[in-house]
Amino acid sequence: MKIDIISVVPRLMESFFAHSILSRAREKGLLEVNIFNLRDYTGHKNGQVDDYQFGGGAGLVLMIEPLVNAIESLKKNTQYDEIIFLTPDGEKFEQRKANALSLKENLLLICGHYKGIDQRVRDNFVTKEISIGDYVLSGGEIAAAVIVDAIGRLLPGVLNDETSALMDSFQDKLLAPPVFTRPEVFRGWKVPEILMSGNHSKIEEWRHDQSQQRTKERRPDLLDEGQQNEIART
């Protein structure tokens, strides 16, 4: 899978992907991430990429010309499945969307800044607009990093344990159960006995039950009616 990213702070972006799981995915050739500096595509003096908005008002807007230059130049080499603009007024990103995007071949992410980007870019090039939550960030870069991380770890071969991505919180609309590792007793705090029993079906039952209890307590909004009924019965 290939993800191209257009940003005005490319060096900040690089650092997100230079470590841990995602760098391993890149080394293994499972994920290609390329970051492009919007300033390389401006014909304006001093690398100008933003300007005051028509109609007045505070805040600069990323200009149409450098963005269209960048998008059209990248489109010459790659057929994108989606051109995604990261913006607080986009559709909310969640696990289901990460799953769907992880099945695509080529994505182009556009990071906004300041007041946003000229609407004509959104109308004529962008195919999807995504927000990572109901709060405002100073730029789309952190949101892009969130999305690349969430997608990247789903790609086959990226995680060592093939099943673990499927066991995550949210994959089945349940939060993950608690986990423990050695030592079995620390300062008198014991690991639940069931986990030491070696009875795998009982352990799975316990984990499922813990997931449901956690979800009910912390995120009842995730439980659909069917799951709520299942909990009510137990």
Rule CB under 6 A: say whether 145 interacts with ligand 6GU. Answer: no
Binding mask 106-135 for ligand 6GU (x = CB under 6 A): ------x-----------------xxxx-x
Rule CB under 6 A: say whether 88 interacts with ligand 6GU. Answer: yes
* 196 φψ region: left (φ > 0), alpha (ψ -120 to 50), beta (else): alpha
Rule CB under 6 A: say whether 10 interacts with ligand 6GU. Answer: no
Distance (Å, whole) CA 76 – CA 55: 34
Kindly compute the dihedral angle of the four CA atoms of residues 106, 112, 118, 123, in this order, to the nearest 10 degrees. Answer: 30
70, 86, 117, 158: which one binds ligand 6GU (CB under 6 A): 86
Nearest to 22 by CA among 7, 10, 32: 32
Distance (Å, whole) CA 222 – CA 234: 18
24, 139, 165, 213: which one binds ligand 6GU (CB under 6 A): 139
Rule CB under 6 A: say whether 140 interacts with ligand 6GU. Answer: yes
Six-digit token string for 174: 């349940």
Nearer to ligand 6GU by Cβ, of 87 and 212: the residue is 87
Nearer to ligand 6GU by Cβ, of 88 and 152: the residue is 88
Place of tokens 């969130």: 146
How much of the chain is in helix, strand and coil states, percent to nearest 5?
45, 20, 35
Nearer to ligand 6GU by Cβ, of 142 and 194: the residue is 142
Residues at the site binding ligand 6GU, with contacts judged by CB under 6 A: 86-88, 112, 130-133, 135-137, 139-140, 143
